[in-house]
Amino acid sequence: MTARLRLSDLVGAFEWVSVDGPFENLAYVSRASGEIWLVSDFDDAGAEPPEDADDETSYLTVPSKRELDLGRSLALRFAEEFIPNDLGAVREFFSRRGAYARFKDLLEQRGALDAWFAYEVAGVQQALRAWALENDIELVEEAA
């Protein structure tokens, strides 16, 4: 039986697990029903995981931005495609802390911030579609 879930729900779970902070967020997807549990080790934020959440035949752990390589690599691909003259500067940004703030400042100066946000959304959705396909999850697209 293939689990079905909405792409927007998977994106929400992905965003939940990709939050940087002093605590860890996890999200589990039932392979049978497509139901998602958002779990956090920060006080009462999120839900309790299913008792058998560690059973990979029953549940999948939703990957984070890092696990799908949607951080530095995505930003560098964007720079190469949309602001190639600034690629060296962007590479330099990502060699130190605070890269995203400097990257977004540069994009704002170049009038490319909206293009970045659209590129990032498309990159996340493409990676999550590939992850779902690889894990036998059927994604249901919402009508616009």
Give the count of domains, the chain.
2
pLDDT at 91: 96
pLDDT at residue 127, as a whole number: 97
**Domain shared by 76 and 62, yes or no:** no
Domain that holds residue 59: 3-66+127-140
Residues 60 and 114 in one domain: no
- Indicate whether this model's pTM tops 0.95: no
Tell me how many degrees the CA angle 3-5-8 measures, rounded to the nearest 5: 155
Does residue 15 sit in the same domain as residue 60? yes
| Per-residue pLDDT, 63 | 95
Q: What is the pLDDT of residue 144?
A: 54
- Amino acid type, 125: Q
Please count the residues of the chain. Answer: 144
Q: Is 136 left (phi over 0), alpha (psi -120 to 50) or beta?
A: left
Do 7 and 60 belong to one domain? Answer: yes
- What's the pLDDT at 49? 78
Would you give per-residue pLDDT tens digits along the chain (144 residues)?
Answer: 678 999 999 999 999 999 876 678 899 999 999 999 998 877 665 567 778 888 888 999 999 998 999 989 999 999 999 999 999 999 999 999 999 999 999 999 999 999 999 999 999 999 999 999 999 999 987 765
